[in-house]
C-alpha cells in the first residue's frame, strides 16, 4: 500500500456540498446552523460558480463569496473551496470558442452542460490561471477555509478530447516522447496498413474511421496523452494555490474517471485524494443492466479499493444521500432507510476519513432537479436528515480511527499500461474485466479482503512484500522494470499468481516474439505452447487440481514446464488439450509463482486463496453470511471491525470471540442479528 499523502484528517469528519448561489441569502445562516446541529462540520462550495467572481472578462468581484463567508465566519463550519474551471462562463466560451472540446468528428461541444472545455487550449489555461490566482489570493487566508478542490471530477462527462489544441499538444507530447518520426513509426507499427508518417503535421488525435478502429499503439499513446494533459492542468492550478494555502490546509480533487493516472496526479498536484461515491448507480433503471447484475451497491467496495490504492486515508467529497436522476437521463429509487448509513460505513470501512454528502438540499432548478440531496425541495426535516444524525452518532464512537489502515489479505496488481490497453484491445478487455470482477466477488463472498497494488515507475518491492499473495490476472504488457520488481517480490517469499496471456506485449502494445510469459518466464518456469478462447459451442473445459475439478474461465493458455523446479498442479480435462497443463507452480527464491492458463472465476479463486493459505482470514473471530461484508481497519494495535449488511433482509452473524459493540458499548459474543442494511462496528481485543 502506498504510504505518501500530505494531508490526513485528524478525526472522522462529516461534510456536505453546498451551493450558496442556488439559494436565497436568507437561507444561508439557517442552513449552516441545521448542518452543524446534525454533525456536518465541513462544506464544499464554489466549484461551478465562476461568474459569481468574474461576471465579465477581467472584472473581478468578491462580494458574493465574501458575504457568504461572513455568515460562515460566525460559525465553526469549515470550508473547502472549489476552483470553478469545470464550467467556463458563457462570455468566455462565446468569445473564445477554441476553449471548447470537440467530438471525435471535430464538431464542437457548446455551452450549456459542463466540462465542455479542453485541457490544452492555451487561451483556456490563461483564463483558468487567472481565476485560480484571484480566488487563492482572496480566499485562501480565510480562517474558515481549510482546503481546496481543483476543478470538479477531472475526466468526468467525457475523457476524450479532439479539439485543435489537443491535436497540437498531442504532436508535442509525441515529439517529447519519441524525438524522431522513425522511432514513432516503429513504436506504432505504422508500416501496417501503410500508416507511416513523414511529417509531424500528419499526426492527429484519433479521428473518425471505419469501424471506429484506430491504430492500437497510437490509441495507447493517446490515452497516455489525455492523462498527461489532465495531470498538467491540475498541477497548473495546484502550483498557483500552493502560493496561498495556509499551512495545514490541503489541495484535493474529486472523482475517479477514465484515462487518468490518479497516482501521478496525486503525487504531483494533490495533498489528499477524494472520491465521489454513488452506490445507488447500481439501481439506476436506465443504466446498463450488466452493472446491476452482481452485488449491486456492494460493488462500490471495489471502487473504494481502487481509491485506497491511490491514497490510503482518503476522503469522500460526494457521498450519495438521495435518489439519482437528471432531467435528461437516469432514474433510480431513493436510498432505503439504512442505506445512507450503510454506504457511509462502506466508505469508512474502506479507508475514508472524511464523508461529505451530496448535496445539502436538492436543487430546484437545472439538469439535476432529480439528483436528490439530504433535504428535499420543501426544506423540511426528513428521514434522510435523521439518518445523517444517526451517522454522526456512529461517527462519534469511531472518530479516533482516522488514519487507521485497511487490512487486506492479498493484492491485485494493476498497471496503467494494461488498464489502458484493455480499453483499446477487446481480447485483453474480455479477459481482464471478467477475471477482476470474479476475484472481487470471491474476495467479498469468501470474506477475504483485498487491495489493489499499482506497479508504477517507482514502485519498490517493499510495497509488494506486505502482501503474502499477489494476483496479476492478465499482465499482458510487461516491462523490464516491472518484471524485475515482481521477480524480487517472489525471491523475497511472495506468492505471485498469474493468468492467461501474461507477457504477450511490450509497452507500446505490440506483441513480442518471445514465448509467453515473456519477461516473467524465468520465475514461472513455464511456457505457453498453444491457446484458445473457449467458443460459444464448446463444452466447458475444467481442470483437475488435487482430485477436484473446477472451472477455468473463458480463455486457455495451454502450458508446459520449462524450469527444473516447476511442476504441473492441474491439467485440463477435455477438448483437444485434455491432459495438458493448466496450472504450473514454480518455486523461485523464497517464494513461488502459480502460472494459470485460464481466467479467474469465483470458484477457482476460492481454490487459489485456500491453496495460498489466506482464505477467510477472520474466520476465527466471526462468521458472517455471503450477504455481509467484513472490513477491518487497524491503528496502533487497535482494530475496528465493520460488518455491513447489504441485504434488504435480516442477516445473522456469529461473533466467535467477545467484542465491544461500539454503538451500545456492550460486550457481545455469539449470535447477533442485523436488520436490513444494518451495519455494526466492533472492537475485539484479540491479536489479529
- Spatial CA neighbour of 73 closest among 139, 121, 157: 139
Binding segment toward ligand GAL, per CB under 6 A, in 55-63, 150-158, 608-616, 617-625: 150-158
Q: Which is nearer to ligand GAL, 325 or 598 (CB)?
A: 325
CA distances from 230 to 227, 268, 357 (A): 5, 12, 26
- For residue 264, how far is the Cα from the chain centroid? 14
Q: Which of 118, 152, 347, 444 binds ligand GAL (CB under 6 A)?
A: 152
The residue among 208 and 364 lying less far from ligand GAL, judged by its C-beta, is 364
186 vs 368: CA distance, rounded Å: 48
Q: Of 318 and 421, which has the nearer Cβ to ligand GAL?
A: 318
Least distance (Å) from ligand GAL to the CB of residue 287? 13
Q: How many residues bind ligand GAL (CB under 6 A)?
A: 8
Is 151 a residue that touches ligand GAL (CB under 6 A)?
Answer: no
The full length of the chain comes to: 688
Sign of CA dihedral 199, 204, 208, 213: positive
Nearer residue to ligand GAL within complex by CB, 54 or 151? 151
Smallest distance from ligand GAL to CB 157, Å: 8
Residues 220-259 as x/- pattern, contact with ligand GAL by CB under 6 A:
----------------------------------------
Q: What span, in angstroms and rounded, lies between the C-alpha atoms of 676 and 276?
A: 24
Report d(CA 16, CA 45) in Å as an integer.
9
- In a 13 Å sphere around the CA of 353, the CA atoms on its Cβ side amount to 21
Per CB under 6 A, the segment of 148-156, 204-212, 244-252, 514-522 that binds ligand GAL is 148-156
Rounded distance, CA 666 to CA 399, Å? 18
30 burial via Cβ count (<10 Å: 0-12, 13-18, 19+): exposed
Instruction: Decide whether 88 or 659 has the Cβ nearer to ligand GAL.
Output: 88
Catalytic residue among 57, 63, 98, 153: 153
Binding of residue 153 to ligand GAL (CB under 6 A): yes
Q: Catalytic annotation on 318? A: yes
The least distance separating ligand GAL from the CB of residue 274, rounded to whole angstroms, comes to: 11
CB nearer to ligand GAL: pick between 153 and 271: 153
The enclosing H or E element of 51 equals helix 50-53
Among 166, 276, 436, 451, binds ligand GAL (CB under 6 A): 276
Burial label for 212, CB within 10 Å (0-12, 13-18, 19+), is exposed
Residues 96-115 that bind ligand GAL (CB under 6 A): none
| CA distance to 51, 119, 290, per residue, from 110 (Å) | 17, 15, 31
Residues 337-376 that bind ligand GAL (CB under 6 A): 358, 368, 371
* Per-residue contact string for residues 279-318; x = within reach of ligand GAL by CB under 6 A: ---------------------------------------x
- Name the residue whose CB lies closest to ligand GAL: 371
Residue 153 beta carbon to ligand GAL: minimum distance, rounded to whole angstroms: 5
Report DSSP state, residue 281. G
Of the two residues 87 and 435, which places its CB atom closer to ligand GAL in the complex?
A: 87
Cβ proximity to ligand GAL, 115 vs 313, nearer residue: 115
Query: Hey, is 384 helix, strand or coil?
Result: helix
For residue 252, the minimal CB distance to ligand GAL (Å) is: 13
Contact range with ligand GAL by CB under 6 A, out of 151-159, 430-438, 582-590, 616-624: 151-159
Candidate segments 128-136, 152-160, 299-307, 617-625, binder of ligand GAL by CB under 6 A: 152-160
Shortest spacing between CB 253 and ligand GAL, in angstroms: 11
Q: Where are the beta strands (DSSP E) in 370-492?
A: 405-406, 410-414, 450-454, 469-472
Q: Is 476 in the site for ligand GAL (CB under 6 A)?
A: no
Q: Site residues for ligand GAL, window 175-204 (CB under 6 A)?
A: none
Q: Which of 54, 318, 387, 488 is catalytic?
A: 318
| CA separation for the pair 227, 219 (Å, rounded) | 12
- Cα(423)–Cα(439) distance, rounded to whole angstroms? 19
Closest distance between ligand GAL and the C-beta of residue 167, in Å?
Answer: 28
Of 571, 283, 304, 646, nearest in space to 450 by CA:
304
Based on CB atoms, which residue is closest to ligand GAL, 173 or 275? 275
Q: Is 136 helix (H, G, I), strand (E, B) or coil?
A: helix
How far is Cα 435 from Cα 601, in angstroms, rounded to an integer? 6
- Give the Cβ contact number of residue 580 at 10 Å: 17
Distance (Å) of CA 413 to CA 419, 455, 475, 511, 584? 11, 7, 8, 21, 20
- Check if 153 is active-site: yes
Strands 410-414 and 469-472 come out as parallel
316 close to 310: Cβ distance less than 8 angstroms: no
Running DSSP on this structure, what letter comes out for residue 399?
G
Mind telling me the catalytic residues? 153, 318
Residues that bind ligand GAL (CB under 6 A): 152-153, 156, 276, 318, 358, 368, 371
Amino acid at each position: 500500500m502506498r504510504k505518501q499523502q500530505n494531508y490526513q484528517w485528524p478525526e472522522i469528519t462529516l461534510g456536505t456540498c453546498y451551493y450558496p448561489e442556488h439559494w436565497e441569502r436568507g437561507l444561508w445562516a439557517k442552513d449552516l446552523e441545521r448542518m452543524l446541529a446534525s454533525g456536518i462540520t465541513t462544506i464544499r462550495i464554489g466549484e461551478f460558480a465562476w461568474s459569481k467572481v468574474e461576471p465579465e472578462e477581467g472584472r473581478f468581484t468578491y462580494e458574493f463569496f465574501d458575504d457568504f463567508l461572513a455568515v460562515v465566519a460566525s460559525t465553526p463550519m469549515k470550508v473547502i473551496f472549489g476552483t470553478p474551471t469545470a464550467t467556463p462562463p458563457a462570455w468566455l466560451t462565446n468569445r473564445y470558442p477554441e476553449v471548447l472540446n470537440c467530438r471525435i468528428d471535430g464538431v464542437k461541444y457548446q455551452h450549456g452542460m459542463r466540462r465542455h472545455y479542453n485541457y490544452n487550449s492555451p487561451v483556456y489555461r490563461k483564463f483558468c490561471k487567472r481565476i485560480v490566482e484571484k480566488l487563492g489570493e482572496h480566499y485562501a487566508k480565510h480562517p474558515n477555509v481549510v482546503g481546496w478542490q481543483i476543478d470538479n471530477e477531472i475526466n468526468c462527462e467525457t475523457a476524450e478530447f479532439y479539439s485543435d489544441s489537443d491535436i497540437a499538444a498531442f504532436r508535442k507530447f509525441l515529439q517529447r516522447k519519441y524525438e524522431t518520426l522513425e522511432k514513432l513509426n516503429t513504436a506504432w507499427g505504422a508500416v501496417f496498413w501503410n500508416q507511416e508518417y513523414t511529417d509531424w503535421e500528419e499526426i492527429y488525435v484519433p479521428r473518425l474511421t471505419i469501424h471506429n478502429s484506430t491504430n492500437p499503439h497510437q490509441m495507447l499513446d493517446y490515452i497516455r496523452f489525455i492523462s498527461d494533459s489532465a495531470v498538467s492542468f491540475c498541477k497548473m492550478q495546484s502550483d498557483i494555490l500552493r502560493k496561498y494555502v495556509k499551512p495545514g490546509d490541503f489541495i484535493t480533487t474529486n472523482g475517479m474517471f477514465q484515462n487518468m493516472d490518479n497516482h501521478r496526479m496525486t503525487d504531483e498536484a494533490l495533498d489528499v485524494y477524494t472520491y465521489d461515491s454513488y452506490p445507488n448507480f447500481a439501481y439506476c433503471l436506465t443504466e446498463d443492466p450488466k452493472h446491476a447484475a452482481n452485488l449491486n451497491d456492494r460493488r462500490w467496495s471495489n471502487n473504494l479499493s481502487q481509491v485506497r490504492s491511490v491514497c490510503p486515508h482518503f476522503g469522500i467529497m460526494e457521498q450519495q444521500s438521495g435518489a439519482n436522476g437528471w432531467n435528461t437521463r437516469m432514474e433510480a429509487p431513493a436510498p432505503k432507510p439504512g442505506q445512507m448509513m450503510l454506504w457511509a460505513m462502506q466508505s469508512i470501512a474502506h479507508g475514508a476519513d472524511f464523508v461529505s454528502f451530496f448535496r445539502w438540499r436538492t436543487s430546484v432548478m437545472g439538469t439535476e432537479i432529480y439528483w436528490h440531496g439530504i433535504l428535499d425541495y420543501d426544506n423540511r426535516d426528513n428521514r434522510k436528515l435523521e439518518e445523517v444524525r444517526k451517522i454522526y452518532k456512529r461517527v462519534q464512537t469511531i472518530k479516533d480511527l482516522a488514519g487507521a489502515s485497511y487490512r487486506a489479505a492479498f493484492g491485485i496488481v494493476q498497471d496503467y499500461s494494461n488498464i489502458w490497453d484493455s480499453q483499446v484491445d477487446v481480447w485483453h478487455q474480455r479477459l481482464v474485466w471478467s477475471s477482476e470482477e470474479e476475484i472481487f466477488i470471491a474476495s467479498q463472498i469468501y470474506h477475504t479482503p483485498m487491495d489493489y497494488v499499482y506497479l508504477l515507475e517507482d514502485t519498490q518491492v517493499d510495497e509488494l512484500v506486505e502482501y503474502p499473495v499477489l494476483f496479476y490476472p492478465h499482465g499482458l504488457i510487461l516491462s523490464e522494470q516491472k518484471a524485475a520488481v515482481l521477480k524480487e517480490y517472489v525471491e523475497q517469499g511472495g506468492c505471485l499468481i498469474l493468468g492467461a496471456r501474461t507477457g504477450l506485449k511490450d509497452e507500446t502494445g505490440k506483441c513480442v516474439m518471445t514465448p509467453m510469459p515473456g519477461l516473467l518466464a524465468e520465475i514461472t518456469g513455464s511456457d505457453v505452447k498453444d491457446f484458445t478462447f473457449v467458443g460459444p459451442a464448446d463444452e466447458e473445459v475444467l481442470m483437475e487440481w488435487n482430485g477436484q475439478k473446477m472451472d477455468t474461465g473463458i480463455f486457455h493458455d495451454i502450458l508446459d514446464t520449462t524450469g527444473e523446479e516447476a511442476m504441473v498442479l492441474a491439467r485440463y480435462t477435455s477438448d483437444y488439450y485434455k491432459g495438458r497443463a493448466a496450472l504450473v507452480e514454480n518455486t523461485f527464491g523464497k517464494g513461488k509463482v502459480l502460472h494459470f492458463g485460464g481466467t479467474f472465476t469465483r470458484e477457482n479463486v476460492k481454490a487459489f486463496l485456500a491453496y495460498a493459505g489466506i482464505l477467510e482470514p477472520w474466520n476465527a473471530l466471526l462468521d458472517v453470511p455471503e450477504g455481509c461484508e467484513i472490513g477491518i481497519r487497524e491503528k496502533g494495535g487497535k482494530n475496528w471491525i465493520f460488518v455491513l449488511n447489504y441485504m434488504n433482509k435480516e442477516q445473522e452473524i456469529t461473533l466467535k470471540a467477545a467484542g465491544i459493540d461500539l454503538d451500545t458499548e456492550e460486550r457481545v459474543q455469539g449470535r447477533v442479528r442485523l436488520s436490513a442494511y444494518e451495519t455494526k462496528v466492533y472492537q475485539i481485543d484479540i491479536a489479529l
